[in-house]
Amino acid sequence: MRFAWAALLIAVVTTAFLALFAWDHERDYPDGETSGPYGIGQAGPMVGLVFVLTVGATRRGMPLLPTLVVPPVLAGWFAWDWSKTDESGLYVLGVILLGIGSFLGGGPCGCPRQELLPHRSGDRQQGKP
């Protein structure tokens, strides 16, 4: 079951990255200026999606799985994307910070005490509360 969840996390995060981040790198304004690289309309859905998957895996008894799977997948995709446009090599620092941030951000979401989470009725063994 853990392998299936890991594969699902990898597939969903990859699909979300390609749909949200891989195609648009700048914001263009009417006065001709640009900023970037990404907008809240790209980052917000990704954060929400990863949060929902993390909580789902935690509720199924796999609290560390998203914390260990999501950061390297995100870092890998962003490294690939940023390396195509950054000639200075500073994208490596960005990838490292992204990996650390997504690991630290996913930890609190994925590691609450199991006793605090509501359980489905099918999760309990007979005769035990």
Kindly list the domain boundaries of the chain, sorted by start residue. 2-120
Local structure of residue 27 (DSSP, 8 states): E
Q: Mean pLDDT check: name the lowest of 30-34, 85-89, 124-128.
A: 124-128
Long-range contact set of residues 97-106: C-beta below 8 Å, sequence gap at least 24: 98/71, 98/74, 99/71, 99/72, 99/74, 99/75, 100/71, 102/50, 102/70, 102/71, 102/74, 102/75, 103/67, 103/71, 106/50, 106/54, 106/66, 106/67, 106/70, 106/71
Q: How far apart are CA 65 and CA 70, in angstroms?
A: 8
Asked if residue 119 has pLDDT above 70, the reply is no
Asked if residue 49 has pLDDT above 80, the reply is yes
pLDDT of 15 reads: 92
pLDDT of 6 reads: 87
Which residue shows structure tokens 């199924």?
60
Binned at pLDDT 50, 70 and 90, residue 11 comes out as very high
Q: Does 118 or 101 have the greater pLDDT score?
A: 101
pLDDT of 96 reads: 93
